[in-house]
């Protein structure tokens, strides 16, 4: 008997993000999840090495890798719809949880207990908070990319995402903004120091 979990995960590359907005470059949830994983890892390492914290970088990375996996079942519901009101938001959270359960049931029983904590994470832990901040950082970087290409469609999103990130009062995020975000505004020649 075959198992479908990883074939479902492979379909993440077909789920487009930012569906209601005109984008210069399309983005899918597979590439987005990889970027969130890198950013979550960075935030966890910053937490530990710069601020003397005790984050588990591997846990943050695994949360990031799987944070959009339910969308292979549900599709990507645009943010304005997802958060339109508490009723819709609650119903969508329920749908996401059911989608995650469906996906976990496509694994061999022997693997489920090991993978389930990454698909259904502990939303009260530091690593989850770091991953959620990394998710917003990835959205912020997408806005910067689009604006650099002359697409003003992302101006309002950039401001609201930046405000949200700073409102979290996370020193890791502020460190990332100060030390890494400016480089996302550079050209390749400028990155190489020419």
How many H-runs (helices) and E-runs (strands) does the chain carry?
11, 0
Which of helix, strand or coil describes residue 97?
helix
Q: What is the mean pLDDT of residues 29-44?
A: 98
Two tokens, residue 114: 């090991």
Average pLDDT over residues 168-188: 97
pLDDT over threshold 60, residue 194 = no
- Say how far apart CA 167 and CA 134 lie, in whole Å: 14
93: confidence class by pLDDT, cuts 50, 70, 90: confident
70: pLDDT strictly greater than 80: yes
Q: What is the pLDDT of residue 1?
A: 58
pLDDT at 83 > cutoff 70: no
Q: Answer yes or no: are the C-beta atoms of 141 and 17 closer than 8 Å.
A: no
pTM of the predicted structure, to 2 decimals: 0.92
Supply the pLDDT for residue 193: 84
**Contact in structure between 15 and 78 (CB atoms under 8 Å):** no
What is the average pLDDT value for the chain, to the nearest integer? 93
What is the model's pLDDT at position 75?
78
pLDDT at site 156: 96
Q: Which of 142, 109, 110, 135 lies closest to 121 in space, CA to CA?
A: 135
CA distances from residue 176 to 24, 78, 127 in whole angstroms, order as listed: 25, 27, 16
Total residues found in the chain within this entry? 194
- Mean pLDDT over 125-153 rounds to 97
pLDDT over 70 percentage in the chain: 95
Alpha-carbon Rg for the chain, nearest whole angstrom, is 17
């Amino acid at each position: 008997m075959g198992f479908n979990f990883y074939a479902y995960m492979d379909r993440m590359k077909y789920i487009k993000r930012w569906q209601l907005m005109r984008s210069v470059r399309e983005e899918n949830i597979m590439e987005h999840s990889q970027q969130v994983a890198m950013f979550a890892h960075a935030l966890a390492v910053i937490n530990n090495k710069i601020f003397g914290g005790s984050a588990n970088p591997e846990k943050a990375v695994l949360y990031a890798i799987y944070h959009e996996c339910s969308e292979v079942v549900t599709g990507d519901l645009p943010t304005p719809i997802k958060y339109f009101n508490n009723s819709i938001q609650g119903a969508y959270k329920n749908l996401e949880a059911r989608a995650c359960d469906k996906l976990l049931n496509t694994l061999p029983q022997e693997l489920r207990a090991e993978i389930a904590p990454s698909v259904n994470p502990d939303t009260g832990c530091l690593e989850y908070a770091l991953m959620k901040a990394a998710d917003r950082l990835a959205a912020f970087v997408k806005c910067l990319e689009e604006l650099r290409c002359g697409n003003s469609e992302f101006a309002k999103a950039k401001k609201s995402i930046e405000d949200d990130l700073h409102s979290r009062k996370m020193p890791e995020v502020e460190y990332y903004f100060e030390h890494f975000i400016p480089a996302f505004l550079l050209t390749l020649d400028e990155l190489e120091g020419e």
